[in-house]
Structure 1
C-alpha cells in the first residue's frame, strides 16, 4: 500500500473478499487484489455519476491491486430507499455507447463475481443479450452437465424469441451489472453501490437483479425509480427474462438449485407473450 498510496498501513482486518486497512494518515480504506480489479476500478469511476448513487472513490489502482474508500454500514430506511431509487434512475440515464460496452478505460474481459464476463458491444439489446449474456453460460452449464439438453433447449427458445419478449426498445443504460442486495451498502448517508460488473445494458436488468435476492424496501426503491423515470409497460412481467443472466452465472458457479431456478425463469419469460 505504501507503494500505491505513499502511506504506511497501521493495521488490517479481513472484510469479506477484501481487506480493511487503517492508514498512518488516519484514513480507512478497502483493498482488493486479483484479476478483476482493473475492471472494477474502471467500473467504479464510470458509475460515479453526479446525482447517481454514491460509489467508493478509487484511491489507487494498478494491474493487481485496488484501494478504495471505506464506507461505514448502516440500516435501510424509507427515505434513503426512495432516494436510492431516484439516484439509480439518474445513473441509468447517464447512458452508455452501446449494449455491452465496457466502462471508459475498462477491459472487454471482465468479471461478475468470480465468473468471467465479456463486454462486447452490440447495437440491439435482444440479440446482444442472447449472444453475450445467455448462450455462453448455458453452453458452459450444459457442457458441465448442470443443465440437460432438454433444459438448455428452453433457453434456446427464449433467445430465438427475444425480439418479441424484450418489450419496447430502450437506449443503452449505464448499469452496475451485478446489482443484487449484497452489493447495495446501506450507510448512515444512504445506499452506496459496491462491487460492480459495470457495462452498457438494459435498465430493467439492474432492477430485476435487485429483486432476485430480496433487497430491503424494494417496493419503495422501485416506486421512486418509476416516478423519476417511468418504466415501459409490462416491465414486471419481464423480470424473469432479465434474471436469466444472474441465475445462469450462479448456475455456472454453484450448480445445484440455481439450475432449476434459471430454467423456471426461462419458462416464465416465455409465458409473457
Structure 2
C-alpha cells in the first residue's frame, strides 16, 4: 500500500494492518486513544488512532475528521490532512516533531488569530461534539455567547462531575452561581473558528519550524477560550510571544485577562467529568478567582 492506493481505497487500511502489510510503530497518543505511526511502501508516514477496546462512540472519529478539515480550510495554522476516517480508526498526515522556538511561537500567534477570524456560522457546529472521551452538545446556536457557553459547555460537564463525586456540593453550587451571572463577565463576541481543546499538549511543534494543531473539539466558539486553554497545565512554550503576536493581528477585547479563569473552567470541568476529583482543586481555584474569593 502506497499513498496513491490509500487515497483511492482508504477503507482497506484496517485490512492491511490486520495482515501486517504495513509497518506499525506505537507512539504516544494521549489519554483516550491508542496511537501508532504507519509507514507505507513508498515511505510515507501516517499518524493513526484507534479506540483502545471495543467500538468507539458513534461518530467519534468522523467528528474529529470534520473538525480537522474545517480548521484546515482557514489556511492559517497548519493542520494535518485527514487520509482515512472510518468508524474504527482515523489516519492523518504525520508531523515530524521539532522544537518550540520563539519564532515558531510568534508565527503561531499570528496564524491562530487568522484561524479564529475565519469565523463560524454560529456557536456549535454541524457535526456531533466530543471533547476527549465525552460527548458535547454542538447543536448550532445564534447565541449570545454567555448563555450558550454556560448551558452547552459548563453545565453538562458540571453535572457529570457532580454525579461521579468529583466535585463537592459546595463546588457545584459555586459553579452554578458563575453560570447564573455569566453575562456580568462581559466579552460577548461573534463566533470564532476555534480548536476547542487547546491545552498545550494539542500543539505539536514541528520540524518545519511551525506549530501544528491536533486533537480538536472544533466548533464555533469564543476565541478567548482557545487562548485561555493554552495557559493550562504548565502553559504553552513562549506563551507571551504567542499572545503578543496574536494581538498584533487581532487585539483582544477589554478585560480579557479577567475572563481567563472563566474560559479555562470549561476544560477543567471536562477533566473532573472524565478523570475525577484529582482536578477538583483546579476547578475550585478558577471558581474562587471568578467569585473574588
CA drift at 1:158? 0.3
How do 1:1-273 residues align onto structure 2 when only pairs under 5 Å count? 3-4=9-10, 9-17=21-29, 18-34=35-51, 35=56, 36-102=60-126, 107-108=127-128, 110-122=129-141, 123-165=143-185, 167-189=186-208, 190-213=210-233, 214-271=235-292
Partner of 1:211, secondary structure, is: coil
Q: Which runs of 5+ in 1 are unaligned?
A: none
CA drift at 1:259? 1.0
The alignment covers a number of residue pairs equal to 266
Compared CA separation, residues 138 and 82, structure 1 to 2 (3 A): same
Distance 1:10 1:144 in 2: 41
Distance 1:53 1:15 in 2: 23
Partner of 2:181, secondary structure, is: helix
Higher alpha-carbon deviation: 17-26 or 220-229: 17-26
Higher alpha-carbon deviation: 18-27 or 3-12: 3-12
Partner of 2:201, secondary structure, is: helix
Are the counterparts in 2 of residues 142 and 148 from structure 1 also a CA contact under 8 Å?
Answer: yes
CA drift at 1:51? 4.1
Compared CA separation, residues 10 and 257, structure 1 to 2 (3 A): closer
Partner of 1:236, secondary structure, is: helix
CA drift at 1:50? 4.3
Distance 2:278 2:86 in 1: 37
CA RMSD of aligned residues (A): 1.8
Are the counterparts in 2 of residues 185 and 193 from structure 1 also a CA contact under 8 Å?
Answer: yes
TM-score if structure 2 supplies the norm length?
0.86
Are the counterparts in 2 of residues 38 and 64 from structure 1 also a CA contact under 8 Å?
Answer: no
Partner of 1:174, secondary structure, is: strand
Distance 2:155 2:244 in 1: 32
Higher alpha-carbon deviation: 20-29 or 45-54: 45-54
Are the counterparts in 2 of residues 92 and 173 from structure 1 also a CA contact under 8 Å?
Answer: yes
Q: Which deviations, in whole Å up to 9, do the C-alpha atoms of 1:129-161 show, x marking residues without a partner? A: 111111111111112222122111101110010
Distance 1:50 1:265 in 2: 32
Higher alpha-carbon deviation: 247-256 or 222-231: 247-256
Q: Which deviations, in whole Å up to 9, do the C-alpha atoms of 1:109-146 show, x marking residues without a partner? A: x3211222221222211101111111111111112222
TM-score if structure 1 supplies the norm length?
0.92
Are the counterparts in 1 of residues 187 and 256 from structure 2 also a CA contact under 8 Å?
Answer: no
CA drift at 1:234? 0.9
